[in-house]
Amino acid sequence: MGVFTYETEFSSAIPAPGLFKAFILDGDNLIPKIAPQAIKSTEIVEGDGGVGTIKKITFGEGSQYGYVKHKVDGIDKHNFTYSYSMIEGDALSDKIEKIAYETKLTASPDGGSIIKTTSHCHTKGGVEIKEEHVKAGKEKASSLFKLLETYLVANPNAYN
């Protein structure tokens, strides 16, 4: 098994506390409402929402994938960090065992926030991840994040 690691960084005008509440703590409810074409639904399969919880995410009709399952690995509401692993689903294919994600939100000098995500792709055998797959994943994440940010700018009191 190999591990391929890459980082993604976004900046936002939304302060870290509100963004963490919307994106991480309430994302399972909010994202299907504002981006049903991307994520149709999220349901808890096992657990109470905390560490160890397994969630099934069903993608929208326009997606090339049907579903994935995430396992919550860690959540720190005070330091705005969240980690989870994609452990099942057709997005993993036969070449990837799992993908572990670590997300950290920090305050930016302009009053907004910086969102850094580190992804660890655990491949099966000697499989190599192609740069175009990484780029496509980053573009999808960026599009979804921009929809979330647009919603929060239009609804400034929603997650204060």
131-154 and 27-34 helices, crossing angle to 10°:
90
Report, as an integer, the average pLDDT of 53-72.
92
Residues 77-88: tens digit of each pLDDT: 999 999 999 999
More confident residue, 24 or 133: 24
Q: Name the residue among 140, 119, 111 with its Cα closest to residue 31.
A: 140
pLDDT tens digits, 96-129? 889 999 999 999 999 999 999 999 988 887 777 7
Residue 1: pLDDT band by 50, 70, 90 thresholds?
low
| Residue recorded with tokens 């930016």 | 108
Q: What pLDDT is recorded for position 69?
A: 96
Domain 2-26+74-154 fold: Alpha-D-Glucose-1,6-Bisphosphate; Chain A, domain 4 (3.30.530)
DSSP letters spanning the chain:
-EEEEEEEEEEESS-HHHHHIIIIISHHHHHHHH-TTTEEEEEEEESSSSTT-EEEEEEPTTSS--EEEEEEEEEETTTTEEEEEEEEETTSTTTEEEEEEEEEEEE-TTSSEEEEEEEEEEESTT----HHHHHHHHHHHHHHHHHHHHHHHHSTTTT-
More confident residue, 130 or 80: 80
Domain segments of the chain as ranges: 2-26+74-154
Provide the pLDDT for residue 140: 82
Band of pLDDT at residue 48, cut at 50, 70 and 90: very high
Q: Is 127 exposed, middle or buried (0-12, 13-18, 19+ CB in 10 A)?
A: middle
* Average pLDDT value for the chain: 91
